[in-house]
Amino acid sequence: MDRRRFLLASSVIAAGIAVSSSGLANFAPSYVHRRSRNPLAGDTSPFTLGVASGSPSADGFILWTRLAPEPLNTNAATPGGIPLQDHRAGILLDYEIALDPDMRRILIHGTTRAEAAHAFSVHLDVTGLMPDRPYWYRFSLGAHSSPVGRAVTLPAPGRPAAKLRLGVTSCANYERGFFSAYRHLADEQPDIVLMLGDYIYEQVERNRPVLRRHSDDAVPTGLDAYRRRYAQYRLDADLQRLHATAPTLVTWDDHEVENDYAGDWSETFTTPNAFAERRQAAYRAFYEHMPLRQRPTAGGLRIHDSITFGDLARISLLDGRQYRSRGACYRAPDAGGGHLVDSITCPELLDPARSMLGPAQEKWLQGNLATSPARWNLVMQNVIMAGLGSDGGGKVVAWTDAWDGYPAARERLLRQLAEARNPVVFSGDIHSFWSNDLALQGGPVVASEFVTSSITSDGPPQDHLQGKLDSHAHLHYAESRHRGYSLVEIAGGALTTHFRAISDVTDRAATCSTLRTFLIEDGRRGAVAV
């Protein structure tokens, strides 16, 4: 304990401010939490949006909350119900980090700042902790305390690790159903949850009945409206429970900004300057509601990231939207988003300079895979990678919004995967479960791909998926009639993926069952159904 106390006292950095070492290792019952004064008017708790942890490392993590006593307040001068004019310097609040879920053995306590410029959100950077163990945390302001959340540190890179349990989610449309899948995933007690895009939806349904109406009953295009959309989702009890239960690594797809946008290019042909302003507002709101280490800049927000879980797994989380090239043969009036093209009438499709990830992220991923010390190398990203188009008679037919629309870039990535140990790709976006082989053109299988279904978003017609299965030998399973998530377990020399299905997204008390299970053995390329 003496060594631990020394490390904690000398190494912990929170929110860029050195944390005082006084009382850091005081486990005595005499510890009294002295609460900061609450400068906010009224008796409503400011912790309406819950807590979250993310970016875990071997010695720390990011802790998140956002002060919002009135989370859906529509006045831009009072985001979350807090007057900017009265709190331009931010608001000081307290935090505690403990060794037990009852918060009796407090390890670290201190003060951090909710930033006015970022809607009074907190991104507390905690370092100096011991590796490979859980910690529990909470925030407080005056008489109000947040829910208790659970965070974890990872086994140090290269150190022995026996098992890992992951949750994988995608595509949660608030209007289409309840988030009971998040509740069931929390019950699975995953070590880490990977969220692969469409955490929110910007769209508003006008043609069909909805279960819950989106905030403002309008599509967000500015910062305040995006903030309210995130706040509405964060108010959901099942989502709050999942974030409090497990750390998350989060990437985005398109609906965090606009359907089917690609890099700087809008689906609706919005002028470049206007779309850049909208995208920047959406990225800023994303940051304000996620446990992220990187901060937004004038050029965007870096979200691609990597963690290494001892010698067992390295996870590369990709950004498949921000840096991608414009969709092939992008043109008004009806080819701004995903559309079918062929390489005869659209030779741009095959241009090797086009990229899904952008040159810098491609290079980063190559290095990340090449230097991995882990037995399993997982690539987590937003859209289906396996080919669903056709390639014959000298003509390639492809849907532009998925990896099919960037065939040269996909081939480059598959060559990188071919050199990696036990590579497995996880994807989202298509609102259905898939198990696929990934192979170089005309070559052997280099990796497996598992696509997770949506939390609530409606799936495509099953007969369409069956047609793909019938015409492509590398596709082994496709099911669009069930919503849910994927549970991934690595242990005993194998990776096992369970497709978990929700009984009915319109029922708050929906049940959960295993739809199908697939296994990959260490050293083998390709999955088998169990």
Q: What is the DSSP string of 507-520?
A: -TT--EEEEEEEEE
Q: Quick check: 380 pLDDT over 70? A: yes
List pLDDT tens digits, range 160-179. Answer: 999 999 999 999 999 999 99
pTM of the model: 0.94
User: How high is the pLDDT of residue 14?
Assistant: 35
User: How high is the pLDDT of residue 394?
Assistant: 85
**At 396, which amino acid appears?**
V
List pLDDT tens digits, range 221-254. Answer: 999 999 999 999 999 999 999 999 999 999 999 9
Average pLDDT over residues 192-213: 97
Query: Two tokens at 397?
Result: 């037919």
List pLDDT tens digits, range 257-312. Answer: 999 999 999 999 999 999 999 999 999 999 999 999 999 999 999 999 999 999 99
User: How high is the pLDDT of residue 256?
Assistant: 98
User: How high is the pLDDT of residue 32?
Assistant: 62
User: How high is the pLDDT of residue 35?
Assistant: 75
Q: Quick check: 29 pLDDT over 50? A: no
Instruction: pLDDT band for 11, please (50, 70, 90 cuts).
Output: very low
State the Cα–Cα distance between residues 320 and 303, nearest whole angstrom. 10
Instruction: Note whether 326 and 292 are within 8 A (CB).
Output: no
According to DSSP, the β-strands at 423-427 and 376-380 are parallel
Q: Quick check: 30 pLDDT over 90? A: no
Instruction: Note whether 47 and 146 are within 8 A (CB).
Output: yes
Average pLDDT over residues 321-350: 97
Instruction: pLDDT band for 392, please (50, 70, 90 cuts).
Output: confident
Instruction: pLDDT band for 391, please (50, 70, 90 cuts).
Output: confident
User: How high is the pLDDT of residue 192?
Assistant: 98
Instruction: pLDDT band for 12, please (50, 70, 90 cuts).
Output: very low
Q: Quick check: 404 pLDDT over 60? A: yes
List pLDDT tens digits, range 44-63. Answer: 999 999 999 999 999 999 99
State the Cα–Cα distance between residues 216 and 228, nearest whole angstrom. 8
Taking only Cα atoms into account, the Rg of the chain, rounded to an integer number of angstroms, comes to 23
| Alpha carbon distances (Å) from 9 to 21, 50, 108, 383, 499 | 5, 28, 9, 44, 44
Q: Quick check: 16 pLDDT over 50? A: no
List pLDDT tens digits, range 102-154. Answer: 999 999 999 999 999 999 999 999 999 999 999 999 999 999 999 999 999 99
| DSSP label of 364 | H
Average pLDDT over residues 482-487: 98
**Which of these ranges, 6-15, 163-172, 237-246, 315-324, has the smallest mean pLDDT?**
6-15
Q: What is the 3-state secondary structure (H, E, C) of 248-314?
A: EEEECCCCCCCCCCECCECCCCCCHHHHHHHHHHHHHHHHHCCCCCCCCECCECCCCEEEEECCCEE
User: How high is the pLDDT of residue 36?
Assistant: 76
State the Cα–Cα distance between residues 240 and 210, nearest whole angstrom. 22
**At 505, which amino acid appears?**
V
User: How high is the pLDDT of residue 326?
Assistant: 97
State the Cα–Cα distance between residues 296 and 204, nearest whole angstrom. 27
% pLDDT > 70, the chain: 94
Instruction: Note whether 204 and 218 are within 8 A (CB).
Output: yes
**Which of these ranges, 51-55, 98-102, 400-404, 441-445, has the smallest mean pLDDT?**
441-445
Average pLDDT, the chain: 93
Query: Two tokens at 125?
Result: 């950077």
